[in-house]
Amino acid sequence: MALSTVEQVAGAKQGASQRRVIPLSVVWAVSVLGALAGWYYLGQVVAAGQTMLHMVDLGTYQIAADRVVHGVSVYDSPLRGNTRGVWEFVYSPFAALLFVPLAGLHGSAFTWVGALGNFAMLTGAVWAALSMLGYRRDRRLLVLGLSIAGLLLLCEPIRETVAFGQVNILLLLLVLVDMALPDSSRWKGVLTGIAAGIKLTPVFFVLYLLVTRRFRAAANAIGALVVTLVVGLAVLPKDSWTFWSGAFADPARVGVPENPQNESLRGMIARSLGAGDVAQLLWLAGALAFTGACLFLARRLSATERELPAVALCGLTTTVVSPYSWVHHWVWLAPLLICLGDLAIRRRGVVTAAGLVVAFAVASGGVFDLLGIHYGSVFDLPNRGPFAVLDHNAYIWLTLALFVSAAWWLRRSAEQSARTAFELSH
pLDDT of residue 287: 96
Higher pLDDT, 37 or 349: 37
Q: Mean pLDDT over residues 301-324, rounded?
A: 96
Q: Is residue 388 over pLDDT 70? A: no
pLDDT of residue 389: 54
Q: What angle do CA 348, 350, 355 make, to 5 degrees?
A: 95
Give the CB-side neighbour count of residue 140, counting CA atoms within 13 A. Answer: 15
In 252-283, which positions are buried (b, 16+ CB within 10 angstroms) versus exposed (e)?
ebbbebbeeebbbbbbbbbbeeebeeebeebb
The mean-pLDDT minimum among 70-84, 294-308, 345-359, 369-383 falls in 369-383
φ/ψ region of 80 (left if φ > 0, alpha if ψ in -120 to 50, else beta) reads beta
Q: Is residue 336 over pLDDT 50? A: yes
Q: What single-letter amino acid sits at 232?
A: G
Task: Count CB neighbours of 5 within 10 A.
Answer: 13
Q: Is residue 1 over pLDDT 80? A: no
Q: Mean pLDDT over residues 213-219, rounded?
A: 98
pLDDT of residue 265: 94
Q: What is the DSSP letter of 373?
A: -
Domain that holds residue 261: 3-425
Among 234, 402, 414, 393, CA closest to 316: 402
Q: How confident is the model at residue 369 (pLDDT cuts 50, 70, 90)?
A: very low
Work out how many domains the chain is built from and give that number: 1
pLDDT of residue 4: 44
User: For residue range 30-76, what is the model confidence (pLDDT) as tens digits?
Assistant: 999 999 999 989 998 998 888 899 999 999 999 999 999 999 999 99
Q: How confident is the model at residue 5 (pLDDT cuts 50, 70, 90)?
A: very low
Q: What is the pTM of this model?
A: 0.90
Higher pLDDT, 174 or 13: 174
- What is d(CA 410, CA 366) in angstroms, rounded to the nearest whole number? 34
Strand, helix or coil at 376? Answer: coil
The mean-pLDDT minimum among 163-177, 226-240, 267-281 falls in 267-281
- What is d(CA 110, CA 104) in angstroms, rounded to the nearest whole number? 9
The mean-pLDDT minimum among 5-14, 138-147, 183-192, 195-204 falls in 5-14
- What is d(CA 94, CA 224) in angstroms, rounded to the nearest whole number? 12
Q: How confident is the model at residue 374 (pLDDT cuts 50, 70, 90)?
A: very low
Residue 71 CB-density burial (10 A; 0-12 exposed, 13-18 middle, 19+ buried): exposed
What is the torsional sign of CA 420, 21, 345, 208? positive
Q: How confident is the model at residue 385 (pLDDT cuts 50, 70, 90)?
A: low
Q: What is the mean pLDDT of the chain?
A: 88
- What is d(CA 73, CA 50) in angstroms, rounded to the nearest whole number? 30
pLDDT of residue 316: 98
